[in-house]
Every structure is written in C-alpha cells, then in structure tokens.
C-alpha cells in the first residue's frame, strides 16, 4: 500500500469539505530567485491548495508565449533545477503542509540523473513531479524511483488521448491527473465546459485519482466552469503574465493575491 503524502492528504481534506482544489503555477526564478518563495507563500495565503513550481527550461514546448517568456526571464535570473530544489527547501522552513509539485521537462532530470533527482526532491520537501515531455512508454524507471521515495508522478491527459493511452497513463499516475482542456499550448483558445465534462466522465472509467483541469483558465468563472465536473482547476498563464507585467516584486505579489483570491472565491461560491 502506498504511503500517504501531502498531495493525497490535501485532496482528501478538500473532498471531505466538498471543495475544489486550486492549483497554481509559477516559474521558479521568474521575477527574481529571491522573490519566488515570498510569491509561493502569497499563493497559499490567497487561497491556493497546491503549488506547481515550473522548472525553467530553454525549450518549453508545451507552453504558450506567456509562460515561455516566464521561462526566459527565470533563466536570465540564473534559475535551474538545483535552484528550484533549494527554493522548495526554503519554502518548507515556514510551510510544511502545502503540496509542491515540480513541473518541467525531462532534460534537466536526465542531466542531474534520475536517482539523484528523486533523492534531492524528497530531501527538499517536494511532493510530486509532472514531466511534460516524458511519455508513458518511458516513464517506468522514474516512476519507480519516485514511488520508492513516496513522491507522486502526475501525468497529463488531453482531449485527444486515446483509450489505450488513458489506460496506460492511469496505471502509472499518482497524486492526481492533470487534464489539458484544450488542444494546443498553455493559455490558448476558448474553453468548452461541456466537452471537458464529457472527457472527465470518460476518464473516471479508468482512474479514481482526482482530476484537475488546466490550460485556458482566465478568471474565477472559467475556473468554476471547468472544475464543476472535476476536482480542481490549474491556473498558470494568468499568474505568469501578472508577474511579467508587474513593476516590482511587491506589485507582483499584490496582483497574484488579487487574482488567486478572486478564483478561490469563485470556486467556493
């Protein structure tokens, strides 16, 4: 039997309260490495339940222009996978409850070494990973390393994921499943809540993990619409855009607080 971790505990708490999860994404180092941990604490104070911390990468292929620019800004600040782990360790000095997921790409993990990465992630206080470009067919070795350290491995599913792949991913995934509501990149297109509902219902035939919906969430109303038939909403481009446009770190925290609070209120309405 797998041991519970913060992700499992948080979803169990939300389920018991009849509430939806608010998962927030920012890029580590965007706006300055020294400002990332204060931003993480601000996300929690404003109502987020889980934090996805983006690991900056030079070729973030699944991202739209907003998050691509966030990766570029973070890399210019010297952000790296090692820096991300250090930031999580710093975050844990004050917050031992909020789940933190590292969301990134396979190359930095391969460069560090999968076993070394899994050890470092556990030591830093990471709860799970989402490796965007790691296909299910190649995920087995990392999956085992993470599971041995009580870390969750979160996978993406999309509107075009076939039943064969849904079944394969469901057999590997832990923590929750991230359902990509749109064809395309982050921040793209217009949401169709009915198609989201239909696909989530279909996925539930393969997995009893929580289902969180991301890509294309612009405000509280869209977050509420897509999470109605799921277990939560993932908000990223909206926050990364606000950080990029802010005149300084204080203004970034203020705007992030405003956006997250509005979405939290909508989800709880």
Cα(92)–Cα(237) distance, integer angstroms: 25
> For residue range 222-250, what is the model confidence (pLDDT) as tens digits?
999 988 889 999 999 999 999 999 999 99
Confidence (pLDDT) at 188: 47
pLDDT band at 118 (very low <50, low <70, confident <90, very high): very high
Confidence (pLDDT) at 3: 67
Confidence (pLDDT) at 187: 46
The torsion of the CA quartet 124, 17, 225, 49, rounded to 10 degrees, works out to -20
Confidence (pLDDT) at 145: 97
pLDDT band at 2 (very low <50, low <70, confident <90, very high): low
> For residue range 158-202, what is the model confidence (pLDDT) as tens digits?
999 999 999 999 999 999 999 998 755 444 456 677 888 899 999
Q: How far is the CA of 31 from the CAs of 64, 93, 166, 195, 218, in angstroms?
A: 18, 21, 37, 36, 21
The model's pTM is 0.94
């Amino acid at each position: 039997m797998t041991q519970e971790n913060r992700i499992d505990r948080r979803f169990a708490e939300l389920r018991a309260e009849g509430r939806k999860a608010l998962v927030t994404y920012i890029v580590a180092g965007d706006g300055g490495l020294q400002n990332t941990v204060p931003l993480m604490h601000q996300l929690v104070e404003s109502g987020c339940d889980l934090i996805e911390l983006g690991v900056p990468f030079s070729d973030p292929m699944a991202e739209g222009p907003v998050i691509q620019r966030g990766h570029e800004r973070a890399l210019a600040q010297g952000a790296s996978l090692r820096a991300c782990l250090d930031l999580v360790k710093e975050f844990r000095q004050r917050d031992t409850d909020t789940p933190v997921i590292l969301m990134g790409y396979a190359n930095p993990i391969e460069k560090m070494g999968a076993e070394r990465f899994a050890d470092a992630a556990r030591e830093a206080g990471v709860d799970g990973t989402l490796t965007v470009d790691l296909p299910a067919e190649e995920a087995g070795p990392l999956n085992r390393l993470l599971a041995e350290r009580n870390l969750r491995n979160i996978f993406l599913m999309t509107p075009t994921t076939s039943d064969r792949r849904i079944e394969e991913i469901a057999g590997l995934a832990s923590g929750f499943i991230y359902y990509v509501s749109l064809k395309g990149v982050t921040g793209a297109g217009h949401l169709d809540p009915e198609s989201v509902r239909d696909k989530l219902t279909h996925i539930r035939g393969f997995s009893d993990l929580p289902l969180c919906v991301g890509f294309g969430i612009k405000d509280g109303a869209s977050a509420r619409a897509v999470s109605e038939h799921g277990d939560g909403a993932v908000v990223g481009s909206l926050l990364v855009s606000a950080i990029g446009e802010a005149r300084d770190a204080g203004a970034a925290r203020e705007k992030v607080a405003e956006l997250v609070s509005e979405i939290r209120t909508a989800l709880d309405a």
